[in-house]
Amino acid sequence: MPGITLTLSGTKNEMLTKKCVLLATQITCDVLKKNSFETMVIMRYVDKDDWFIDGKSLNEWGKNSFRLEVTVVDETCSKDQKAAYQKAIYNAMEQAIGNLHPQSNVHVIDCKAASYGYTGITQEYRYQHKEEFY
């Protein structure tokens, strides 16, 4: 059950939001082997005057940026998958947004199965009681 928070620099843009949500969902499902039905995305926008890198705003840099955080259950994604995910997300955001500052980033958050879940049930419980869910 990946939970994604995607933050983009700039002002809210419905068309860009839809495009980036679809890209983030598709890449997460393809590269990290997750189920799209269980993948959620929260979109945020931060004004370029409020996003700083090395003490300078993105407006001063003349650049765009993004930060994607995805929470997955620990030990469900390999190092190779995470490396491929980093590259795929960065490339997709570069194409969708353009003019990215190189400090735009992706953070894969590995969470213990007993600490993460949905519908009030942890992923650990789901794993231990597979017959109830599958």
The answer to whether the CB of 64 falls within 8 A of the CB of 100 is yes
Where does the pLDDT of residue 131 fall: very low under 50, low under 70, confident under 90, or very high at 90 and above?
Answer: confident
Integer Cα distance of 53 and 75 in angstroms: 32
Give the model confidence (pLDDT) of 36-56 as tens digits. Answer: 999 999 999 999 999 999 999
Domains annotated on the chain, with CATH: 2-132 (3.30.429.10)
Give the model confidence (pLDDT) of 86-128 as tens digits. Answer: 999 999 999 999 999 999 999 999 999 999 988 899 999 988 9
Q: Coil, helix or strand for 114?
A: helix
